[in-house]
Amino acid sequence: MFEHDHPDLSISQQCALLQVPRTSFDYAPQGQTRQNLALMRLIDVHFLVTPFLDVQKMTWHLRNDGHAVNEKLIRRLMGLLGVRRENGPPDRFLTLLTADPSEAQHQ
């Protein structure tokens, strides 16, 4: 697609012709760190034992095990793993979005 050693066109000109941003040409996605991979293994183990844990409870369990984590990191890692709690109380936000507006006022 791109020729690094093209005699007439620079990389910038080739990107412009193909309508590709120049910054995306050199982009190489980074993999997960060893710490994140270890946390993903722990999340997987906890989730296999207790599939009803949500992000907050999973964060609590990992903090209890001595890991310095926050909910944002755990939410991202659980998303990468594709794990979601199977049962438990429904999320209030989703309930309010799908409920009849007249009923939402009384909750």
Q: Are 48 and 9 within one domain?
A: no
**Residue 50 belongs to a domain:** yes
27-72: pLDDT as tens digits: 677 889 999 999 999 999 988 888 888 899 999 999 999 999 999 9
Residue by residue, what is the 3-state secondary structure of 50-73?
A: CCCCCHHHHHHHHHHCCCCCCHHH
Task: Give mean pLDDT, residues 66-87.
Answer: 88
Predicted TM-score (pTM) of the model is 0.58
Q: Are residues 23 and 67 in the same domain?
A: no
Evaluated on CA atoms 26, 31, 36, 42, the torsion sign reads: positive
Range of the domain at 22: 1-27
